[in-house]
Amino acid sequence: MSLPYGDVVRVRVPATSANLGPAFDCAGLALTHHDVVDVTVASSGLKVAMTGEGAHSLPTGEDHLVVRAFRAACDQLGWTPGGLRVVAENAIPQGRGMGSSAAAVVAGVMAAWALCPDVETIDLDAVLRLTTTMEGHPDNVAACLLGGLTLSWTTDAGASAESLEVDGDVLPVVLVPDATLSTHVARGLLPDAVPHADASFNAGRAALLVHALTREPGLLFEATEDRLHQRQRAAAMPDSAQLLERLRAAGHAAVVSGAGPSLLVLTRRHPDDSPDAAVRVREVADLTPEGWTVLPLGVDVQGVRVHRPVQQVSSR
């Protein structure tokens, strides 16, 4: 990915769902629900404007996550722009387990790489390492960067990831409650050690999950079983836990999306032995309580996109 140097770029970043049941901290799925961020290099100062999700609650100064990520990338690149303007159109719900923070971090880092006058090509490996450092784990940022189904891991050299093509019959549906849940709080509920039998169970299901998502969607229900984190976090999101149990009892391949409290249901477009996708989505919606938002989405196969907007954002 390369861009000529200029003073403004538009970054489109997808929502993501991590863990996908058993693949805790190592799998993510990019979804067709996006934030769009315009970043402009100005002569001086900082201005942040937002619409949509978080427009009235997120900071508008140096604490804004896009700005923090932009600055961190600039430090890494050895570049200090005179001023900065950020205009964000946010569609990804905040604090719901749909990767809103990962999207902001990716947007800021990618904008810095694209705008830096000394950079001709964006190094996605370097971007992944930095965004993982900022997020603490690579599952969401990897999916946001690369699109599709991503498998990520870390070594002494930093984070790495691979993207796989999802079977075309897989149709993700995200169920979003009004309530929010901090990832920090959700992680605090996890035990320091787990039984060997549970670890073995999840390892097997995580391997099956890759096969189910890429080649055999008929196995998704079994492939999304988990023993490591969903039950352990249920006390922090009782409504989500109850809905998850109800959906799985009805035969739906439902999981907690990331740290929650949203749920991800992996339905199918053309199942052999059950109703078509529209009927399955209605079945999911019928089981979902009032106050929740039902989002039938697709898999974003491209991940982050960086380009020049048709009309540049004013730096005045």
Model confidence band, residue 87 (pLDDT cutoffs 50, 70, 90)? very high
pLDDT, tens digit, 9 for 90 and up, residues 34-65? 999 999 999 999 999 999 999 999 999 999 99
Instruction: Name the residue among 8, 7, 309, 304 with its Cα closest to residue 150.
Output: 304
Q: What is the pLDDT of residues 185-240, one digit of tens each?
A: 877 888 889 999 999 999 999 999 999 999 999 999 999 999 999 999 999 999 99
pLDDT at residue number 273: 57
Question: Domain spans of the chain?
Answer: 8-164+300-307, 170-296
272 pLDDT band, cuts 50/70/90, is: low
Structure confidence at residue 91 as a pLDDT band (50, 70, 90): very high
Whether 90 shows a pLDDT value over 50: the answer reads yes
Q: Which fold has domain 8-164+300-307?
A: Ribosomal Protein S5; domain 2 (3.30.230)
Residue 185 has a pLDDT of: 81
Architecture per CATH, 170-296 = 2-Layer Sandwich (3.30)
Q: What is the pTM of this model?
A: 0.92
